[in-house]
Structure 1
Amino acid sequence: MHDDPKILGHQGEAAAISFLQTLNFTILETNYQTKPAEIDIIAKDNDHICFIEVKTRRSLKKGLPRESVTYSKQKKIILGACFYLKKTKQTNSRIRFDVVEVYKTKAGFEINLIKNAFQAC
């Protein structure tokens, strides 16, 4: 059961949220559901609204976690971000798309925040 990818994903997201909070991010939403995509974390970092994709891995056999955020996935996240901004009437906000890589190790989690991992245009 410890190899269940959903459990690993939830653990990674929880670790990412804690990590972001230590960097003074304000968590606005988690697992935000939109038609095109689920956005793992929506957070505020100073004057930016950040749309954050969390990728958790036990090993690098399938490559770096960030590599799994494909162009297709990025487009879905961007569409979801547009939906969120319209719904919350924040369309003039400064936004950023980040990726948090979470590596599960025997000692716990290693976390890498990639700010501006991709752009909307």
Structure 2
Amino acid sequence: MEVCPLLALRIRLVIQKLKRAALRLKGKKKRKSSTEQRIQPARRTPKEIKREYGFEDSPAAKARAALAERQEKLKRVEDKAQALHSNSENFAATARELEKMMASRKWWQV
């Protein structure tokens, strides 16, 4: 029994379409149901959460920032005070040496 060539061609085309459709379905990922999507929370960073709920502009955050600024200013003042103290000690030592040197000289040797 011979099959009509047109029918054989038609059968081959249908088989090829089915194969392509199977490959497309195989490559697709399964979709999650709407309940599964609702259960999974979105991942956010702590900064995003704080920004969303207004904790970045809270009085505690402002006070913390002001405290850090004051600490920096105090550190600079302390550094300046230490430098001034060491400079004054050097000046006092130089003044003592000059005083001893001048005390040993007579008025006409100046």
Based on CA coordinates, which of the two structures has the bigger radius of gyration? 2
TM-score by length of 1: 0.21
* Larger helix proportion of the pair: 2
Structure with more of its chain in strand, by fraction: 1
What is the TM-score with the length of structure 2 in the denominator?
A: 0.23
